[in-house]
Structure 1
Amino acid sequence: MYSVKSFDADRGNGATNRFNVLKCPDWVNVLAIVPSGQFVFVRQFRYALARETLELPGGIVEDGASPLESAQEELLEETGYAGGEWFILGNYLANAGLQNNYVHSFFCRNPSPKLGVVPEDGTTVQLLSTEEVRQALYGGELCQAFALASVLLASRQGLVTMS
Protein backbone atom coordinates (compact mmCIF):
# COMPACT_ATOMS: atom_id res chain seq x y z
CA MET A 1 0.00 0.00 0.00
CA TYR A 2 2.80 2.42 0.92
CA SER A 3 6.36 2.45 -0.38
CA VAL A 4 9.33 4.78 -0.22
CA LYS A 5 11.21 5.83 -3.33
CA SER A 6 14.66 7.33 -2.74
CA PHE A 7 16.59 9.11 -5.45
CA ASP A 8 19.29 11.69 -6.01
CA ALA A 9 18.37 14.82 -7.94
CA ASP A 10 19.98 18.07 -8.97
CA ARG A 11 18.39 20.98 -7.13
CA GLY A 12 19.10 23.29 -10.06
CA ASN A 13 22.19 24.86 -8.51
CA GLY A 14 24.59 22.04 -9.37
CA ALA A 15 24.21 20.39 -5.98
CA THR A 16 22.76 16.91 -5.75
CA ASN A 17 20.52 15.97 -2.86
CA ARG A 18 18.88 12.75 -1.72
CA PHE A 19 15.06 12.85 -1.84
CA ASN A 20 12.58 10.39 -0.38
CA VAL A 21 9.00 10.14 -1.59
CA LEU A 22 6.34 8.23 0.29
CA LYS A 23 4.24 6.69 -2.48
CA CYS A 24 0.65 6.42 -1.25
CA PRO A 25 -2.74 5.71 -2.74
CA ASP A 26 -5.08 8.69 -2.96
CA TRP A 27 -7.32 9.34 0.04
CA VAL A 28 -10.95 10.41 0.45
CA ASN A 29 -12.96 12.04 3.19
CA VAL A 30 -16.64 12.93 3.58
CA LEU A 31 -18.31 15.89 5.24
CA ALA A 32 -21.85 14.57 5.74
CA ILE A 33 -24.95 16.27 7.15
CA VAL A 34 -27.95 14.16 8.16
CA PRO A 35 -31.56 15.39 7.76
CA SER A 36 -31.58 16.76 11.35
CA GLY A 37 -28.80 19.17 10.33
CA GLN A 38 -26.10 17.43 12.35
CA PHE A 39 -22.66 16.67 10.96
CA VAL A 40 -21.34 13.09 10.95
CA PHE A 41 -17.90 12.76 12.54
CA VAL A 42 -15.92 9.82 13.88
CA ARG A 43 -13.61 9.39 16.81
CA GLN A 44 -10.69 7.04 16.26
CA PHE A 45 -7.61 6.15 18.26
CA ARG A 46 -4.52 7.19 16.32
CA TYR A 47 -1.42 5.26 17.34
CA ALA A 48 0.96 7.86 15.88
CA LEU A 49 -0.47 10.36 18.37
CA ALA A 50 -1.31 7.87 21.15
CA ARG A 51 -4.75 9.46 21.50
CA GLU A 52 -8.23 9.65 20.03
CA THR A 53 -8.98 12.23 17.35
CA LEU A 54 -12.15 13.79 15.97
CA GLU A 55 -12.22 13.31 12.19
CA LEU A 56 -14.34 13.05 9.10
CA PRO A 57 -15.01 9.54 7.80
CA GLY A 58 -12.43 8.66 5.19
CA GLY A 59 -9.77 6.31 3.92
CA ILE A 60 -7.89 5.23 0.82
CA VAL A 61 -9.08 5.00 -2.75
CA GLU A 62 -9.07 1.27 -3.40
CA ASP A 63 -7.60 -0.13 -6.63
CA GLY A 64 -10.22 -0.09 -9.36
CA ALA A 65 -12.58 2.21 -7.43
CA SER A 66 -13.31 5.84 -8.17
CA PRO A 67 -12.81 8.43 -5.43
CA LEU A 68 -16.61 8.79 -5.15
CA GLU A 69 -17.13 5.03 -4.77
CA SER A 70 -14.39 4.93 -2.14
CA ALA A 71 -15.91 7.89 -0.25
CA GLN A 72 -19.34 6.24 -0.24
CA GLU A 73 -17.82 2.99 1.01
CA GLU A 74 -15.86 4.74 3.77
CA LEU A 75 -18.94 6.62 4.98
CA LEU A 76 -20.84 3.34 5.19
CA GLU A 77 -18.01 1.34 6.81
CA GLU A 78 -17.08 3.94 9.40
CA THR A 79 -20.52 5.32 10.27
CA GLY A 80 -23.25 3.03 8.94
CA TYR A 81 -24.67 5.93 6.87
CA ALA A 82 -25.40 5.61 3.13
CA GLY A 83 -27.24 7.29 0.29
CA GLY A 84 -27.91 10.99 0.14
CA GLU A 85 -26.87 13.61 -2.39
CA TRP A 86 -23.14 13.76 -3.16
CA PHE A 87 -20.95 16.69 -4.23
CA ILE A 88 -17.21 16.90 -4.86
CA LEU A 89 -15.68 19.59 -2.64
CA GLY A 90 -12.22 19.48 -4.17
CA ASN A 91 -8.97 17.61 -4.66
CA TYR A 92 -5.67 18.66 -3.11
CA LEU A 93 -2.21 17.29 -2.40
CA ALA A 94 -1.83 15.46 0.89
CA ASN A 95 1.76 16.59 1.51
CA ALA A 96 3.64 17.74 -1.60
CA GLY A 97 6.99 17.84 0.21
CA LEU A 98 6.98 14.14 1.00
CA GLN A 99 4.06 12.30 -0.63
CA ASN A 100 2.70 11.82 -4.15
CA ASN A 101 -1.01 11.41 -3.39
CA TYR A 102 -4.15 13.53 -3.48
CA VAL A 103 -7.06 13.88 -1.07
CA HIS A 104 -10.53 13.90 -2.65
CA SER A 105 -13.05 15.62 -0.38
CA PHE A 106 -16.79 15.07 -0.73
CA PHE A 107 -19.95 16.50 0.78
CA CYS A 108 -22.96 14.27 1.39
CA ARG A 109 -26.36 15.78 2.15
CA ASN A 110 -29.00 13.67 3.91
CA PRO A 111 -27.44 10.21 4.20
CA SER A 112 -29.42 7.80 6.37
CA PRO A 113 -28.42 4.93 8.64
CA LYS A 114 -28.37 1.62 6.81
CA LEU A 115 -30.09 -1.13 8.76
CA GLY A 116 -27.83 -3.90 9.97
CA VAL A 117 -24.57 -2.03 9.35
CA VAL A 118 -22.36 -1.63 12.39
CA PRO A 119 -19.57 0.96 12.20
CA GLU A 120 -15.96 -0.30 12.09
CA ASP A 121 -14.39 -1.52 15.31
CA GLY A 122 -12.48 1.26 17.02
CA THR A 123 -14.64 3.95 15.45
CA THR A 124 -17.22 5.92 17.40
CA VAL A 125 -19.77 7.88 15.38
CA GLN A 126 -20.50 11.34 16.71
CA LEU A 127 -23.25 13.62 15.39
CA LEU A 128 -22.42 17.28 16.00
CA SER A 129 -24.49 20.43 15.64
CA THR A 130 -23.10 23.37 13.68
CA GLU A 131 -22.22 25.09 16.96
CA GLU A 132 -20.39 21.98 18.21
CA VAL A 133 -18.42 21.78 14.95
CA ARG A 134 -17.56 25.46 15.27
CA GLN A 135 -16.36 24.90 18.85
CA ALA A 136 -14.30 21.88 17.76
CA LEU A 137 -12.74 23.93 14.94
CA TYR A 138 -11.84 26.96 17.00
CA GLY A 139 -11.04 25.00 20.16
CA GLY A 140 -8.50 22.78 18.42
CA GLU A 141 -10.33 19.48 18.87
CA LEU A 142 -10.93 19.22 15.11
CA CYS A 143 -7.32 19.57 14.04
CA GLN A 144 -6.75 17.20 11.11
CA ALA A 145 -5.85 19.28 8.05
CA PHE A 146 -8.09 17.33 5.66
CA ALA A 147 -11.14 17.86 7.85
CA LEU A 148 -10.38 21.57 8.11
CA ALA A 149 -9.98 21.79 4.33
CA SER A 150 -13.31 20.03 3.77
CA VAL A 151 -15.19 22.34 6.13
CA LEU A 152 -13.60 25.37 4.46
CA LEU A 153 -14.40 24.11 0.95
CA ALA A 154 -18.01 23.30 1.88
CA SER A 155 -18.42 26.72 3.48
CA ARG A 156 -16.93 28.50 0.45
CA GLN A 157 -19.30 26.58 -1.85
CA GLY A 158 -22.32 27.57 0.24
CA LEU A 159 -23.07 24.00 1.34
CA VAL A 160 -22.62 24.78 5.05
CA THR A 161 -22.53 27.91 7.18
CA MET A 162 -19.88 28.09 9.90
CA SER A 163 -19.97 31.79 10.78
Structure 2
Amino acid sequence: MFKNLISIGLIIIGGITVVLFISTHLAMAADSERHKRVNGMDVYLGVIPSQLISRNHSNMHAPRALGYHEYHVIVALFDSKTGSRITDATVRVNLPASALTETSEVLEIMQTNGVISYGNFFRMTVPGKYRIKVMIERPEMNGTDTVYFIYQRPRD
Protein backbone atom coordinates (compact mmCIF):
# COMPACT_ATOMS: atom_id res chain seq x y z
CA MET A 1 0.00 0.00 0.00
CA PHE A 2 2.80 2.39 0.92
CA LYS A 3 4.56 1.62 -2.40
CA ASN A 4 1.33 2.40 -4.27
CA LEU A 5 1.09 5.82 -2.59
CA ILE A 6 4.69 6.58 -3.50
CA SER A 7 4.05 5.52 -7.11
CA ILE A 8 0.93 7.69 -7.32
CA GLY A 9 2.84 10.62 -5.81
CA LEU A 10 5.65 10.25 -8.33
CA ILE A 11 3.15 10.12 -11.20
CA ILE A 12 1.46 13.32 -9.95
CA ILE A 13 4.81 15.12 -9.54
CA GLY A 14 5.87 13.94 -13.00
CA GLY A 15 2.61 15.20 -14.50
CA ILE A 16 2.99 18.60 -12.84
CA THR A 17 6.57 18.82 -14.11
CA VAL A 18 5.45 18.06 -17.67
CA VAL A 19 2.66 20.69 -17.51
CA LEU A 20 5.07 23.34 -16.18
CA PHE A 21 7.64 22.44 -18.84
CA ILE A 22 5.10 22.72 -21.66
CA SER A 23 3.55 25.97 -20.37
CA THR A 24 7.00 27.56 -20.01
CA HIS A 25 7.85 26.72 -23.61
CA LEU A 26 4.48 28.04 -24.82
CA ALA A 27 5.07 31.32 -22.97
CA MET A 28 8.54 31.59 -24.51
CA ALA A 29 7.11 30.84 -27.97
CA ALA A 30 4.50 33.59 -27.55
CA ASP A 31 7.27 36.06 -26.67
CA SER A 32 9.38 34.96 -29.64
CA GLU A 33 6.48 35.81 -31.95
CA ARG A 34 6.94 39.47 -30.97
CA HIS A 35 10.75 39.55 -30.84
CA LYS A 36 13.39 38.89 -33.49
CA ARG A 37 17.13 39.50 -33.58
CA VAL A 38 18.85 40.58 -36.80
CA ASN A 39 22.26 42.11 -37.54
CA GLY A 40 22.93 43.30 -33.98
CA MET A 41 19.38 44.60 -33.41
CA ASP A 42 16.54 43.38 -31.23
CA VAL A 43 13.28 44.05 -33.06
CA TYR A 44 10.01 44.08 -31.11
CA LEU A 45 6.56 44.20 -32.70
CA GLY A 46 3.31 45.41 -31.18
CA VAL A 47 -0.14 45.38 -32.79
CA ILE A 48 -3.01 47.25 -31.11
CA PRO A 49 -6.62 47.56 -32.34
CA SER A 50 -7.39 51.23 -33.02
CA GLN A 51 -10.41 51.04 -30.69
CA LEU A 52 -8.01 50.74 -27.75
CA ILE A 53 -6.13 53.93 -28.60
CA SER A 54 -7.14 57.03 -26.70
CA ARG A 55 -8.88 59.76 -28.70
CA ASN A 56 -5.99 62.02 -27.66
CA HIS A 57 -3.64 59.81 -29.70
CA SER A 58 -5.86 58.91 -32.67
CA ASN A 59 -4.18 61.57 -34.84
CA MET A 60 -0.61 60.62 -33.92
CA HIS A 61 0.08 59.79 -37.56
CA ALA A 62 -1.30 61.35 -40.73
CA PRO A 63 -4.89 62.28 -39.88
CA ARG A 64 -7.30 59.61 -41.04
CA ALA A 65 -10.61 58.18 -40.02
CA LEU A 66 -9.88 55.08 -38.01
CA GLY A 67 -12.15 52.24 -39.00
CA TYR A 68 -13.22 49.18 -37.09
CA HIS A 69 -10.50 47.02 -38.63
CA GLU A 70 -7.62 49.48 -38.25
CA TYR A 71 -4.62 48.33 -36.21
CA HIS A 72 -1.69 50.33 -34.90
CA VAL A 73 1.55 48.53 -35.74
CA ILE A 74 4.49 49.52 -33.53
CA VAL A 75 8.15 48.53 -33.90
CA ALA A 76 10.79 49.18 -31.24
CA LEU A 77 14.48 48.70 -32.05
CA PHE A 78 17.35 48.10 -29.64
CA ASP A 79 21.07 47.54 -30.04
CA SER A 80 21.62 43.89 -29.04
CA LYS A 81 24.97 44.58 -27.36
CA THR A 82 24.24 47.77 -25.42
CA GLY A 83 20.47 47.55 -25.00
CA SER A 84 20.10 51.18 -26.10
CA ARG A 85 17.23 52.23 -28.34
CA ILE A 86 17.86 52.72 -32.03
CA THR A 87 16.38 56.05 -33.05
CA ASP A 88 17.92 56.74 -36.46
CA ALA A 89 16.34 53.98 -38.55
CA THR A 90 13.89 54.03 -41.42
CA VAL A 91 11.35 51.27 -40.84
CA ARG A 92 8.96 50.03 -43.52
CA VAL A 93 6.24 47.43 -43.00
CA ASN A 94 4.60 45.31 -45.69
CA LEU A 95 1.36 43.73 -44.62
CA PRO A 96 -1.19 41.85 -46.74
CA ALA A 97 -4.37 43.90 -47.11
CA SER A 98 -6.15 40.97 -48.75
CA ALA A 99 -5.31 37.74 -50.51
CA LEU A 100 -4.38 39.73 -53.63
CA THR A 101 -2.85 42.98 -52.37
CA GLU A 102 -0.23 44.14 -49.93
CA THR A 103 0.01 47.44 -48.06
CA SER A 104 3.41 49.02 -47.58
CA GLU A 105 3.97 51.94 -45.22
CA VAL A 106 6.97 53.69 -43.75
CA LEU A 107 6.49 53.75 -40.01
CA GLU A 108 6.62 57.19 -38.48
CA ILE A 109 8.90 58.03 -35.58
CA MET A 110 6.83 58.22 -32.41
CA GLN A 111 7.98 59.81 -29.20
CA THR A 112 6.03 58.84 -26.11
CA ASN A 113 7.32 60.10 -22.77
CA GLY A 114 10.75 60.61 -24.35
CA VAL A 115 10.91 57.06 -25.75
CA ILE A 116 11.32 56.58 -29.50
CA SER A 117 9.56 53.83 -31.45
CA TYR A 118 8.08 53.57 -34.94
CA GLY A 119 4.43 53.13 -35.86
CA ASN A 120 1.54 53.56 -38.26
CA PHE A 121 -2.00 52.32 -38.87
CA PHE A 122 -2.88 49.36 -41.09
CA ARG A 123 -6.20 47.83 -42.11
CA MET A 124 -6.68 44.13 -41.30
CA THR A 125 -10.24 43.26 -42.30
CA VAL A 126 -10.16 39.47 -42.13
CA PRO A 127 -9.49 37.47 -38.95
CA GLY A 128 -6.56 35.10 -39.25
CA LYS A 129 -2.80 35.06 -39.59
CA TYR A 130 -0.96 37.99 -41.11
CA ARG A 131 2.68 37.74 -42.18
CA ILE A 132 4.19 41.11 -41.33
CA LYS A 133 7.43 42.00 -43.09
CA VAL A 134 9.57 44.61 -41.30
CA MET A 135 12.40 46.22 -43.28
CA ILE A 136 14.95 48.32 -41.41
CA GLU A 137 17.51 50.70 -42.89
CA ARG A 138 20.10 52.50 -40.80
CA PRO A 139 22.50 55.24 -41.92
CA GLU A 140 25.63 53.35 -40.80
CA MET A 141 24.57 50.02 -42.33
CA ASN A 142 24.63 48.94 -45.97
CA GLY A 143 21.38 47.52 -47.27
CA THR A 144 18.16 46.59 -45.55
CA ASP A 145 17.64 44.15 -42.70
CA THR A 146 14.38 42.22 -42.93
CA VAL A 147 12.47 40.25 -40.30
CA TYR A 148 9.09 38.54 -40.47
CA PHE A 149 6.44 38.26 -37.78
CA ILE A 150 3.19 36.36 -37.72
CA TYR A 151 0.26 38.18 -36.14
CA GLN A 152 -2.99 36.35 -35.41
CA ARG A 153 -5.81 38.85 -35.85
CA PRO A 154 -8.66 37.78 -33.57
CA ARG A 155 -12.27 37.38 -34.63
CA ASP A 156 -14.61 40.33 -34.16
Shorter-chain-normalised TM-score: which range?
under 0.3
TM-score computed with the length of structure 2 as normaliser? 0.24
- More RCO (CA 8 Å, sep 6+): 1
The structure with more radius of gyration? 2
TM-score computed with the length of structure 1 as normaliser? 0.23
